[in-house]
């Protein structure tokens, strides 16, 4: 048995673990990184990267089929599904060196390609190596949650971990789950020539602002995606190429392929947490505001910490604990400034409180500012006018922003900056945006907040009148 001692031991080389390893090693800490599967974790290999690459393929096909609005003849836009998946694999391969073992070894990280499990409160075994560490970080991420639906284990089904291995186009893709993953893959596959039915037990895109989510859902319906809400799956039956999903209310949905996209579960099964005195929860690992577990020398970051499950949150968590582990400074994680986006067309993004959350928290003090994309000149030129922005404002400061529309995932960045730095609406209004850009939507929303204060104010009109009469 080999034995190592280190400053920081990181279990998992996904987004959280890699961000931490890169930062800590380059600032002088001795770092050991364990990874028993693929470097880059879910995001690179099965999640954000391949899904956005496939969405890009679907968009290319759709744009060819809808070119006439720009004075260009529509084309067939027929997709080669195998070639589209080859494009996905190519994108992963291009990004993979950034997450590679070789790159991190170049930073001075000791990378061990084994799963890790606790054998004491300060020791982890990985293969034939035992590592003792001053600080241990659990960054094992999450995996697709497969619900215990009757018959599911008897039929072939896909998750995000196996979907991108397909090379033969599904004739009719059934998707259980109407969250972001389900809706993104529904639209992408429809645009690549598949029939698609989404089966959602409650409300599709139910965690987003319902008014804005409905704009996305209606767009997908108009394109041809069948979205069945209030259809909780009771039973799965059939065989390869002929699968049926039976809902609790008796509805039956038939298709050739089945994708299960109902959420994520934290990867804790291999860790033997009890040997380290680390308390698990239903969502992952119990942590405090500083991301420490019930064993103070052990942290948990990213999806396994049981909060928002996004790649950018994993990177943020790494920054939080670097401050405390390397410099001994207090550092706490918060969520009020964390944005997210769903990359359908139109896109849907959010930071801070939704309108419903803001009304519940602030009551009559809340002001909701709205600006529609069809008043943006660049959106008009691009024929991308569907959507709007809603800004929830308390005493001149935004507390939440919801956006649906073209480039909503890019537009939300400014508001994430504003919430992170407690900025005022006046600071957004003071920005000068180049014309014509989609980004003007943000400035116009801020302008819409001040417009009634300027244009509908008797006091302002009185002051202007006095200035015109008496000031030379």
Residue 184 marked in a binding site: yes
Short-list 326, 48, 79, CA closest to 194: 79
> Tokens 């001075």 sit at which residue?
108
Check: CB of residue 110 under 8 Å from CB of residue 35.
Answer: no
Residue 347 marked in a binding site: no
Residue 179 marked in a binding site: yes
Structural tokens at position 354: 């939704």
Residue 183 marked in a binding site: yes
Angle at CA of residue 435, ends 429 and 441, nearest 5°:
45
> Tokens 């060196």 sit at which residue?
97
Structural tokens at position 155: 């039929």
Structural tokens at position 326: 């390397």
CA distance 203 to 404: 17
Residue 180 marked in a binding site: yes
CA dihedral 435, 438, 443, 448 (to 10 degrees): 110
Short-list 177, 287, 276, CA closest to 227: 177
Other CB atoms within 10 Å distance of the CB of residue 70: 10
Short-list 16, 71, 73, 9, CA closest to 303: 16
Structural tokens at position 333: 């994680």
Residue 35 marked in a binding site: no
Residue 250 marked in a binding site: no
What string of DSSP letters covers 189-254? HHHTT-EEEEE-SS-TTTTS-HHHHHHHHHHHHHHT-EEE-S--EEEEEEETTEEEEEETTS-EEE
Check: CB of residue 10 under 8 Å from CB of residue 18.
Answer: no
Check: CB of residue 96 under 8 Å from CB of residue 18.
Answer: no
Residue 214 marked in a binding site: no
What string of DSSP letters covers 48-74? HHHHHHHHHHHHHHHHHHT-GGGTS--
Residue 102 marked in a binding site: no
The three-class DSSP label of residue 329 is: coil
Contacting residues for 381 by C-beta, under 8 A, at least 6 apart:
436
Residue 385 marked in a binding site: no
What string of DSSP letters covers 285-317? B---TTSB-SSTTEEE-GGGGSS---HHHHHHH
Give the DSSP H/E element, type plus range, for residue 399.
strand 397-405
Residue 116 marked in a binding site: yes
Structural tokens at position 96: 């993979």
Residue 200 marked in a binding site: yes
Binding residues for FAD: 52, 116, 140-142, 303
Known binding residues are: 52, 116, 140-142, 177-184, 200, 263, 303
Residue numbering of the annotated binding site for NAD(+):
177-184, 200, 263
């Amino acid at each position: 048995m080999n034995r190592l001692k280190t400053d920081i031991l990181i279990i998992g080389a996904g987004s959280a673990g890699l961000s931490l390893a890169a930062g800590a090693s380059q600032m002088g800490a001795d770092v050991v990184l364990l990874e028993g599967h693929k470097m880059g974790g879910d995001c690179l290999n099965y999640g954000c990267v391949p899904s956005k690459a496939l969405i890009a393929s679907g968009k290319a096909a759709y744009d060819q089929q809808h070119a006439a609005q720009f004075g260009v003849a529509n084309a067939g836009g027929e997709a080669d599904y195998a070639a589209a998946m080859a494009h996905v694999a190519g994108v992963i391969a291009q990004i993979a060196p950034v997450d590679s073992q070789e790159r991190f070894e170049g930073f001075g990280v000791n990378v061990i390609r084994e799963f890790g499990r606790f054998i004491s409160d300060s020791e982890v075994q990985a293969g034939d190596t035992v590592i003792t560490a001053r600080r241990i970080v659990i960054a094992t991420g999450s995996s697709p949650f497969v619900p215990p639906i009757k018959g599911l284990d008897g039929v072939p089904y896909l998750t995000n971990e196996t979907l991108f291995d397909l090379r033969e186009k599904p004739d009719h893709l059934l998707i259980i789950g109407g969250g972001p993953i389900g809706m993104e893959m529904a639209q992408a596959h429809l645009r690549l020539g598949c029939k698609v039915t989404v089966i959602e037990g409650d409300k599709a895109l139910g965690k987003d602002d319902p008014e804005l989510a409905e704009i996305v859902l209606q767009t997908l319906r108009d394109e041809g995606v069948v979205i069945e809400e209030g259809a909780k799956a009771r039973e799965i039956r059939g065989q390869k190429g002929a699968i049926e999903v039976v809902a609790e209310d008796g509805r039956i949905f038939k298709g050739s392929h089945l994708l299960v996209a109902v959420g994520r579960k934290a990867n804790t099964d291999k860790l033997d947490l009890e040997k380290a005195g680390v308390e698990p929860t239903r969502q992952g690992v119990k942590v405090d505001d500083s991301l420490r577990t019930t064993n103070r020398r052990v942290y948990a970051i990213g999806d396994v910490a049981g909060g928002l499950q996004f790649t950018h949150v994993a990177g943020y968590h790494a920054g939080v604990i670097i401050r405390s582990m390397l410099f001994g400074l207090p550092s706490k994680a918060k969520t009020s400034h964390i944005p997210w986006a769903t990359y359908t067309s139109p896109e849907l993004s959010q930071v801070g409180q939704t309108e419903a959350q803001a009304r519940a928290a602030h009551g009559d003090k809340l002001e909701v500012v709205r600006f529609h994309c069809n008043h943006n000149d660049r959106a008009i030129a691009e024929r991308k006018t569907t959507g709007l922005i809603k800004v929830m404002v308390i005493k001149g400061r935004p507390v939440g922003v919801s956006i649906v529309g073209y480039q909503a995932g890019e537009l939300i960045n400014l508001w994430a900056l504003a919430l992170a730095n407690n900025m005022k609406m006046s600071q957004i209004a003071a920005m000068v945006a180049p014309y014509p850009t989609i980004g003007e939507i943000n400035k116009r929303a801020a302008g819409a907040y001040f417009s009634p204060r300027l244009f509908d104010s008797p006091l302002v009109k009185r002051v202007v009148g006095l200035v015109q009469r008496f000031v030379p």
